[in-house]
Chain A
Amino acid sequence: MGSISLQHVKKSFGEVQIIPDISLDIKDGEFVVFVGPSGCGKSTLLRLIAGLEDTTSGTILLDGQDMTKAPPARRGLAMVFQSYALYPHMTVRDNIAFPLKMAKAPKEVIDQKVEYAARTLNLSSYLDRRPRALSGGQRQRVAIGRAIVREPKAFLFDEPLSNLDAALRVNMRLEITELHQQLKTTMIYVTHDQVEAMTMADRIVVLNAGNVEQFGSPLDLYKKPANRFVAGFIGSPRMNFVDGPEAAKHNAHSIGVRPEHFKLSRDPLANAWKGKVGVAEQLGSDTFLHVHVEGLGLMTIRTDGDQTFSHGDDVYLMPDPTRIYRFDAAGIAL
């Protein structure tokens, strides 16, 4: 079991309020991702759940039990750090066994669990090495191994993949997702990579300046962003925003159109926005066009990779009328 519930959790460092007031309910077995810009308080929130920091006020319930004041060792959670935080003086085996030793598990149980974790994570041939002699991906796996042997109520990951190269990240992403499907344990995963967020999460928490902007499934966030911040944050490339008279036509303070929701043409279209191509980024599968639209500014357009555009081409843009997001003056979705 591993449900996590935050009730009016607040956190200040001295005078600075980092988390004004957060309430969240995370269900048992869920994979929840915290995303948000750098410095928005993702790690702080995770550390509050872990017990590595005190809440200034509010309550943290694990499985319905009040754990607000419990030390990390007693919360039954496992954490995987961005820096891996392996014990450099211990072999891989001892690293993985450490939590079990702390729990005073009998030796046979320890051996058996370490073997099992090593097999699951493809670490069997490295058990007698020191962390120093491992690659980044292997270290990450050891850190995960150390987390799983405890059979924790929940796993907490703080940007575990950000030190790995792109290819390895994709691999590890899949491995962690698979691990979740296998263990069905609650996981909270902090990242600022929205691809990770979209692909791994059951539900995503979008944080901004210590506030929850929206909490929902990835597709919910994509399709029904609660506000301009979420709309801009989820989706890549970013949503294009337009305000002023063009927005007023839609009875909104501002409107947003995702790069993939345009009809693009070289020939004039009725009611379309006219622009000039600035930079064309050709990825092969897709092409991203940065178009200077008269009176509206720079827009990003996604189109298929077969089309070739070059700098200075005239283009006409037509937003898909069913997929225009409308926001009021406070940025709330209408």
Chain B
Amino acid sequence: MATAQTRTLSRIMMAPAVIVLLIWMIVPLVMTLWFSFQNYSLINPMMTGFAGWANYIYVLGDPSFTQSLVNTLILVGGVLAITVIGGTFLALLLDQPIWGQGILRIIVISPFFVMPPVAALIWKNGFMHPGYGVLAHLFEFFGLEPVDWFNQYPLFSVVIIVAWQWLPFATLILLTALQSLSEEQREAAEMDGANAINRFYHIILPHMARSITIVILIQTIFLLGIFAEIRVTTGGGPGYASTNIAFLVFRTGILSNDIGAGSAGGVVAVVIANIVAFFLMRAVGKNLDA
């Protein structure tokens, strides 16, 4: 549906975007792959040459890797569980006839716009600080011992912060999906004598299933790369207690200047992300035809 001339023009119009993204995708990735097979340390410039699988063996074999992988899974899984369940619940609540719906929507979405380092610092200093944090005051008020969150439960604390940031996102998407469920569909179900629980399981949940899938997939992409929250609060510690794969690569590559090992970790991160991306693309791609 166009002329050869428009097709030529359209190729020219797309060229900058395609070239930029192509370079962005290929060059650094190839370099990462290359470095991952090299002995390359900024601290020890004498160590050079082909390393074979040594970097991978070093990274994958180190207990810190296993722990980071587990931490990554806990982080992603924990945040997903909180945000999807909480988001569904909150979306259902906001969809009820209530006063001030519009304002509520704005209030609820707000945490999503707070930049990660600020979110982390608010929680770290304002809420979770064992001395003057709001939670410490609350615990004291109830006669409990204040908790030193980031030392005692570092990973859990990070999960809370990240969940706080992403709960609004899940809520907003699910609320949008919920509001597109037509009133007639609900009324029909009510006429058929379905009670609230049946309606939820047979009408509302199936309708939201696709949006929930999308929320899970998109969040997973972002959650795999959680970085600033860890950097600002625990620095990955104590030990490796709150280090995820992304932070491990940063620690190894940039902080310890071991380019080879850091790159190997990077490649592993790419592989993990690709597995998730594969499913996301299929979900979004299906929608393209519609």
A interacts with B:
yes
B290 at the interface (CB under 8 A from A): no
A145 at the interface (CB under 8 A from B): no
| Residue from the set B1, B2, B3 with the largest chain A CB neighbour count within 10 Å | B3
What residues of A have a CB within 8 angstroms of the CB of B4 in the complex? 54
Distance between B205 CB and nearest chain A CB, rounded to angstroms: 40
B182 at the interface (CB under 8 A from A): no
B44 at the interface (CB under 8 A from A): no
What residues of B have a CB within 8 angstroms of the CB of A13 in the complex? 1
A30-63: CB near B (< 8 Å → 1, else 0) gives: 0000000000000000000001111000000000
B1-41: CB near A (< 8 Å → 1, else 0) gives: 11111000000000000000000000000000000000000
Residue of A nearest to B9 (CB): A71
What residues of A have a CB within 8 angstroms of the CB of B2 in the complex? 52-53
What residues of B have a CB within 8 angstroms of the CB of A69 in the complex? 5
Distance between A42 CB and nearest chain B CB, rounded to angstroms: 16
What residues of B have a CB within 8 angstroms of the CB of A54 in the complex? 3-5
Residue of A nearest to B1 (CB): A53
What residues of B have a CB within 8 angstroms of the CB of A71 in the complex? 3, 5
Main secondary structure of the interface of B (DSSP, over half): loop
What residues of B have a CB within 8 angstroms of the CB of A51 in the complex? 3
Residue of B nearest to A55 (CB): B3
Work out how many contacts link A and B, with CB atoms closer than 8 A: 13
A51 to B2, CA, bound (A): 9
Distance between A130 CB and nearest chain B CB, rounded to angstroms: 28
What residues of B have a CB within 8 angstroms of the CB of A53 in the complex? 1-3
Distance between B6 CB and nearest chain A CB, rounded to angstroms: 8
Residue of A nearest to B4 (CB): A54
B70-110: CB near A (< 8 Å → 1, else 0) gives: 00000000000000000000000000000000000000000
What residues of A have a CB within 8 angstroms of the CB of B1 in the complex? 13, 53
**Chain A, range 63-99, C-beta contacts under 8 Å to B:** 69, 71
Residue of A nearest to B7 (CB): A54
A296 to B54, CA, bound (A): 91
A1-24: CB near B (< 8 Å → 1, else 0) gives: 000000000000100000000000
A71 to B4, CA, bound (A): 10
A13 to B1, CA, bound (A): 8
A333 to B5, CA, bound (A): 43
A280 to B260, CA, bound (A): 91
A71 to B3, CA, bound (A): 8
A53 to B5, CA, bound (A): 10
Distance between A86 CB and nearest chain B CB, rounded to angstroms: 21
A202 to B80, CA, bound (A): 71
A190 to B5, CA, bound (A): 25
A54 to B1, CA, bound (A): 9
Distance between B229 CB and nearest chain A CB, rounded to angstroms: 44
Distance between A163 CB and nearest chain B CB, rounded to angstroms: 22
Distance between A11 CB and nearest chain B CB, rounded to angstroms: 12
Distance between A274 CB and nearest chain B CB, rounded to angstroms: 54
Q: List 9 A-B contacts (CB under 8 A).
A: A13-B1, A52-B2, A52-B3, A53-B1, A53-B2, A54-B4, A54-B5, A71-B3, A71-B5
Residues of A within 8 A of B (CB): 13, 51-54, 69, 71
Apart from the given pairs A52-B2, A54-B4, A69-B5, 10 other A-B contacts in the complex at a CB distance below 8 Å: A13-B1, A51-B3, A52-B3, A53-B1, A53-B2, A53-B3, A54-B3, A54-B5, A71-B3, A71-B5
Q: What 6 A-B pairs are tightest by C-beta distance, nearest first? A: A54-B3, A54-B4, A71-B5, A53-B3, A51-B3, A52-B3
